[in-house]
Amino acid sequence: MAFDSTGKQKLIEHMRAIVGAEAVLGAETNLDAYAIDRRRYYHGKPIAVVKPGSTAEVAAVVRKCAETGTAIVPQGGNTGLVGGATPDESGNELILNLSRMNRIRALDIANNTLTAEAGCILAVLQQAARDNDRLFPLSLAAEGSCEIGGNLSTNAGGTGVLHYGNTRELALGLEVVLPSGEIWDGLRGLRKNNTGYDLKHLFIGAEGTLGVITAAVLKLFPMPTGRATAIVAIDSARTAVELLARVQAYCGERVTGFEFFSQFCVDLVTRHYPACQSPFTVRFPHYVLVELSDSRPDAEVQALLEETLGRAIEQDLVRDVAMAMSAGQSRQFWALRENISEAQAAEGRNIKHDVSVPISGIAEFIHAADAAVERVFPGVRLVTFGHIGDGNLHYNISPPTDMPGDAFLDRAAEVNAVVHDIVARFNGSISAEHGLGKLKREEITRYKSALELDMMRRVKAALDPAGIMNPGKVL
């Protein structure tokens, strides 16, 4: 619904009556931190930013928006990469920011669960688990500022998916405010509940288009007592896939990290983050970061990884190995991998692709995509890295050194078509863990069948018939 200035002011006054004047940020406030996405691709113009402090307040806000036909954009830490939490420029959408809802409601150590509100920062949940000798394994580069509601809404992945699964696999129950303003209380810490449709999975990964996740029951795990980390120098992505199979065969479920990156990725990180340095004195084409975790002592896990990689060296599968000899060195190794995205951003404008293909097709995909992109855009710089253990690659592309970044971005549709068509050829997905948001909303129609899209639209129409929940995203 379009509002005139009087209508907007009246709505803002209603919101202030619900959540308190200090929790409503209007046009008199600089709203850039909420209205511009992390990559600064999308610049929205919200009516206001409303920051409820409880589920009851969220429900009251949503009921008023349903009554007035006001579009709602749910938002957490605003760390997304596809514009999913950014309003449009119409000035008629309301940002519903859940950051004030940051309480841990319950810890059930015997049941290995933690119940948290949507605004809890991921790193805070990780620490709360550690304080109770437990592990919450979701881990990603933005964990110091992203919030669990956003992680759930995008079904975030991260570095632990190989062993623990995506966020979807870490959630046992949800509390959700529906577009009608009704509250669905599904906060059950059950690992078995075979009583019909598992409704929580409608909202996980829906990017706020079906309702507002306000709290969740999350799985915890025993805290590993032993870890071993190594960076392994290899020749190719094909070698990485073969090494993954060998490491899993020797080490089983102890493999909790298997990250792939190129020498060019290392060059970017060491240039823009001088504190991060390669553990090797010579350059190699590619690397994998391998981590084992177990309930056994560090020394035993370290010995297992050393033996496993030693066999790989004997079989000429590996060029060199750097073992982390302390927890501090392990963090340094991870920093080399986790700073790749930010280092590429510091290098200049770039086009990101968050894709997945079957692990068996990773090497062929990279070979085909590299050749196709280079043919169409000679001189581009390929920044390929990711969670090779679950088939998720960040196939990012920086422009040629003599091409302005903005000019390169103007051709993003061409770049995307080249890469995504090859992803489809390998039966992959054009969004592995970031979601669709605004960025891929139109693009996905090229790759999903008409029936798939129709089923998604029917679900949307059933739960949000007025279309007020995060319009213009996903569908």
What integer pLDDT is reported at residue 446 of this predicted model?
A: 94
Torsional class of 86: left (φ above 0), alpha (ψ -120 to 50), beta (otherwise): beta
What integer pLDDT is reported at residue 296 of this predicted model?
A: 87
Residues 98-144 have pLDDT tens digits of 999 999 999 999 999 999 999 999 999 999 999 999 999 999 989 99
Residues 65 and 94 sit within 8 Å (Cβ to Cβ): yes
Q: Locate 145 and state its tokens.
A: 């500022």
Q: Locate 454 and state its tokens.
A: 């129709």
What integer pLDDT is reported at residue 3 of this predicted model?
A: 75
Instruction: Annotate 328-351 with three-state secondary structure.
Output: HHHHHHHHHHHCHHHHHHHHCCCE
Alpha helices in 204-292 (DSSP H): 237-251, 263-272
Banded pLDDT at 445 (limits 50, 70, 90):
very high
Residues 211 and 256 sit within 8 Å (Cβ to Cβ): no
Residues 10-63 have pLDDT tens digits of 999 999 999 999 999 998 899 999 999 998 889 999 999 999 999 999 999 999
* Cβ atoms within 10 Å of 181's Cβ, excluding its own: 17
Show the domains of the chain with their CATH numbers.
5-97 (3.30.43.10), 104-222 (3.30.465.10), 226-341 (3.30.70.2190), 348-434 (3.30.70.2740)
* Predicted TM-score (pTM) above 0.85: yes
Banded pLDDT at 172 (limits 50, 70, 90):
very high
What integer pLDDT is reported at residue 1 of this predicted model?
A: 67
Phi, psi of 310 (to 5 degrees): -60, -40
Residues 414-421 have a mean pLDDT of 96
